[in-house]
Amino acid sequence: MDNHGQFREPLGESGRKTLEQMNEHHRDLTEWALSVIPDIGPKKILDIGCGGGMAISLLSEKFDSRMYGIDISDESVMMTRGYNAELVKSGRLSVSKDSVSEMPFENGTFNLVTAMETYFFWPDLANDLVEVGRVVAENGYVLIVSEVYPHPDFNERNKEMIASYGMNIVSNHKMTEMLEDAGFEVETVEVEKNNWVAFLGRKLPTE
């Protein structure tokens, strides 16, 4: 697998180095994104595409919750467990190799689901967001975060990233529509100068 493919599914020594770089590079973005979450007390949290485990670590400091992480990469699963060894040892964290497209959780399991810098690699974004909606409890939240969204000031950079990494980057309007179709009421928060965006969705109760 080439280095570009390592962002989609980290593998081997090169994949471990990529995950370490992600933990460092995405920390500021993740800290900002977690500040968007309202003052809630989620009983269970799931991080989709847990990567190097940094987001789970920050989530565990913010919330006294039972934590879960999934990723399609064996390297990511191992690194997340290692990065959060104390959480695993205490029984607070479980990490498994699973896909967002078919998650091994019952309906309405989680009060908060996060996805940091990962949606653009999901196999079928619209249907995968429906699957996310399935595992979120009524009035629970989903937080989807990206350091890339279509914007004229970043067109050239973003085009290069799409071509290099095979990323599926959608407009903020399109993401909002798909989340609404999946049963969420959505707030979009942007840091325009950084090209950062966070989509915060609250799962609407079924009538």
Q: Judge if pTM exceeds 0.85.
A: yes
Instruction: State which residues form the domain around 44.
Output: 5-203
pLDDT above 90 covers a percentage of the chain that reads: 82
Q: What tokens appear for 27 in the block?
A: 């920390």
Per-residue pLDDT at 187 exceeds 50: yes
Determine the average pLDDT of the residues in 148-172: 91
Rg of the chain on CA atoms, in Å: 16
Which domain CATH number covers 155? 3.40.50.150
Coarse DSSP helix, strand, coil percentages of the chain, rounded to the nearest 5 percent: 45, 25, 35
Distance of alpha carbon 41 from alpha carbon 44, whole angstroms: 9
Per-residue pLDDT at 13 exceeds 90: no
Q: What pLDDT is stored for residue 110 in this prediction?
A: 98
Q: What pLDDT is stored for residue 164 in this prediction?
A: 82
Task: Give, rounded to a whole angstrom, the gap between the first and last alpha carbons of the chain.
Answer: 47
Q: Into how many domains does the chain fold?
A: 1
